[in-house]
Amino acid sequence: MAPFMGKDLPHHGFVSRIVADAFAMEGVRVEYGFYPWARAYFLAQHGQVDASIGWYRTPERERDFLFSDAVFVESQVLFFLKDKPLFWKTLADLRNWSIGATLGYTYGAEFQAMEESKAINVERTPSDEQNLRKLLAGRIDAVIISQAVGERLLKTLDGTSAARIGLDLRPVNADPLHVIFPRKQPQSGEWLRRFNRGLKKLKATGAADRYRLDD
């Protein structure tokens, strides 16, 4: 997902760049393959790749994978129409709003619990792009998207449409993204240790923080 990862992005996205450069700090060269999320997870789960990047930590995933230190903390925020601003302090304050979310994405335990209990009105669609189109059409009141992804998507809209959309900087959820290493692979523990060492070195230079702005 741009701008985190993508075959055609500069450096394959800034998260891919962080991972590659962290490994390079330890003398390891990374080769990327790009797959749909489900396929990438399957390949990693069955040890058919050495690692996969850009995953949240969950108890279910921890059964199959070793998790790296946090590569990047992703803030998920609300985008809304400026002529219908949001006023909220807690998710419960949004109970009378319709919120667009994307199929297959997670937005934190509190959001999930409130969605499942119908305490908030969440409409799922296949993509963030579709949710923004629904927002512009007035079919929903807000969209929850990763801040970095949402800001990039706004740049793809025409100027008039982009100017209609506002961003609430208060995060609904903030989760770190990790590199996952399959437990089935005997070398995963060593790859994990080398990556974490390299990531620590890279962050110490300040480069990891700059990459998000550069890309």
Tens of pLDDT, residues 84-123: 998 999 999 999 999 999 997 889 889 999 999 999 999 9
In a domain, 5, yes or no: no
Alpha-carbon distance of 49 to 181, in angstroms, equals 9
85 and 151 in a single domain? The answer is yes
pLDDT tens digits, one per residue of 143-153: 999 998 899 89
- Is residue 141, in this structure, part of any structural domain at all? yes
| Average pLDDT, rounded, for the chain | 93
| pLDDT band for position 77 (cuts 50, 70, 90) | very high
Domain of residue 19, residue span: 10-72+175-214
* CATH number of the domain within which 55 lies: 3.40.190.10
Both 112 and 193 in one domain: the answer is no
Closest CA to 54 of 20, 79, 24, 29: 20
For residue 4, tell me if it sits in a domain. Answer: no
**Helix%, strand%, coil% for the chain, nearest 5:** 40, 25, 35
Do 100 and 116 lie in one domain? The reply is yes
Is this prediction's pTM over 0.75? no
Do both 80 and 62 map to the same domain? no
Look at residue 95 and tell me if it is in a domain. Answer: yes
Give domain status of residue 2, yes or no. no
pLDDT reported for residue 204: 95
Q: Identify whether residues 88 and 154 lie together within a single domain.
A: yes
Q: Does 92 map to a domain?
A: yes
- Tell me, what's the pLDDT at 215? 56
Please tell me whether residues 103 and 192 are part of one structural domain: no
Question: Using CA atoms, how far apart are residues 12 and 53, in angstroms rounded to an integer?
Answer: 12
185 and 165 assigned to the same domain: no
Q: 15 with 9: CB under 8 angstroms?
A: no
Whether residue 113 lies inside any domain: the answer is yes
Pair 23, 60 in one domain? yes
Determine the pLDDT at residue 213. Answer: 63
Mean pLDDT of 135-149: 95
pLDDT score for 1 = 55
112 and 156 both lie in a single domain: yes
Digit-coded pLDDT (tens) for 164-182: 999 999 999 998 999 999 9
Dump pLDDT digits (tens) for 1-44: 555 888 888 899 889 999 999 999 999 999 999 998 889 999 99
d(CA 182, CA 48): 9
